Amino acid sequence: MIDTTRLSLFEAASVVARRDFRAILFSRAFVFFLLGPLFPILVGALAGGIGGQVQREAVSTTVALAMSETDSKAMLAAYERLAPQIGIALPALKRETGADAPETILKRPGAAYAAVVSGTLAEPEIAATDSQIARWSGPVTLLAEEAMDGSPGAFPELSTSRVETSTAASRTSRIRTAQAGQLLLFLLMMLLAGMVLSNLVEEKANKVIEVLAAAIPMDAVFFGKLMAMLGVSFVGIAVWGVAGAGIVLVAGEALPSLPEPALGWPMFAALGIVYFALGYLLLGSLFLTIGGMAATVREVQTLSMPVTMMQLLVFFLAAAAITSPGSPLEITAAIFPLSSPFAMLARAAQSDALWPHAVALMWQALCVAVFVRTGATIFRRRVMKSGKGGRAVKGHVGATTLA
C-alpha cells in the first residue's frame, strides 16, 4: 500500500502508470486486441489509391537547358509556341547558366531535374536516367526541331548520356518510404489510442477515476494513464513486429522493398519510435480531455468521433504535403501539433537535416504538457463534484492509499 499524500507528481504518476499497465497487460481483452491489426489492412488498401496519386504528382517534369544563351532562348520560345497545343506532353524547361556538367546538374541537391539537355539545336544531347530518357527524348527532339524553324519532319538527331540516378529520381523513390512511414504511424496511433478512451470509460462507470482524482493531482492521473497506455502500446507493437519479422523471413524477396531514407534506416526507425510516442501522447491527451468534458459514457463515445475525424484530416494534410517540402503547406503540417509527427517523419525520409527534428520534438513535447494540463483542469472541474448542489470536493483524502 502506498500513501499518496506524500508522493510527488512524478511518483504519483508512476503509481498510476504501474497500476494501469498491469491491469491491461494481463487482461484477456488485451490478448484479443492484439488481433486488431488484421482490420487496418483494409484501410491500407484504400489508402493505396491516394498513394498512387501522390506518386504520380511527385514525378519531376522539369528539364534543364545547359545550352548556349541563344539556343536556350530558342528552345524556350519553341516551348511557348507548342505548349498551348501539346500541353503536359512537353517538359517544363529551365535554363542553367553555370558551366557544370549535365551529370553534376542532375545530382545537385534541391534541383530535382528529370533530365539535362546540352549541345546545340542541330545536335542536342539529353542526360538522364534510362526511364527519363525514354520519356523525354521525343518531346526534346520536337522542341529542338521547332526551335530551328526547320521544315516538318527535319528532326535533329538526339544523342543520349545515361546516368545512374539523379536528385529527382532519388526524391521520387524516397517519397515511397515517406508514404509508408506515415501510413504505418497513422494506423498504429488510431489502433492503439482507443485504449485510452476505453480505459477511461470503464473507470468513469465504476467511480475509480473519482477515487484517483481525490487522492492525487489530476495531472499525475493523466500522465500516469498516458504512460501506462504508451507502455502497453509498445508491448503490442513488439508482438506485431515479431509476427511481421516472421512474415518477412518466410516471404523473402517476394515482398516489395523501400528505398533507403535520407537519414538512413537506423535514424529513421529511431525517429519513427519517438514520433509515435509523442503523437500517441498528443492524441491520448485529447481523448482524456473528452472524458473530462463528458458527463456520461454515451457522451464520451459521441464526442470522440470528431477527434477521430480530425485525425483523419490531419493525416491527409501531412500526406498532401509530401510532394512539396518547404512549402507553406508542409510547414503548416509540421507546426500543427496533431499532424507534426506525420509531417516530420516524412521529412526524415526525404531530407538528411537533423536540426528540424530537434525543434519539432521539443515543440511536440511542449504541446503534450499543455494538452495534459488543460485536460486535467477540465476533468477536475467535472469529476470532482458531487451532491445536489454540485459542491466541489475539497481537501485531501487523509491517508488515502493505492494498491
Q: pLDDT tens digit string along 230-261?
A: 888 898 888 877 777 776 676 555 556 677 88
pLDDT higher than 50, residue 222: yes
Per the listing, cell 519517438 goes with 274
Instruction: Give the pLDDT confidence score for residue 345 in this predicted structure.
Output: 92
pLDDT higher than 50, residue 119: yes
Confidence category of residue 358, pLDDT binned at 50, 70, 90: very high
Distance CA 223, CA 257 (A): 38
Strands 159-162 and 124-128: parallel
Strands 92-95 and 62-65: parallel
pLDDT higher than 90, residue 150: no
Distance CA 91, CA 114 (A): 9
pLDDT higher than 90, residue 128: no
pLDDT higher than 60, residue 124: yes
Residue 1, judged by CB atoms within 10 A of its CB (0-12, 13-18, 19+), counts as exposed
Confidence category of residue 401, pLDDT binned at 50, 70, 90: very low
pLDDT higher than 60, residue 42: no
**For the chain, percent of residues with pLDDT exceeding 70:** 70
Question: Nearest-CA neighbor of 212 among 384, 22, 28?
Answer: 384
CB count, 10 Å around CB of 151?
Answer: 7
Question: Nearest-CA neighbor of 91 among 119, 130, 126?
Answer: 126
Instruction: Give the pLDDT confidence score for residue 376 in this predicted structure.
Output: 81
pTM above 0.85, yes or no: no
pLDDT higher than 60, residue 301: yes
Instruction: Give the pLDDT confidence score for residue 13 in this predicted structure.
Output: 81
Mean of the per-residue pLDDT values for the chain? Answer: 76
Instruction: Give the pLDDT confidence score for residue 314 in this predicted structure.
Output: 87
Indicate if the alpha-carbon torsion angle 140, 146, 152, 154 is positive or negative. Answer: negative
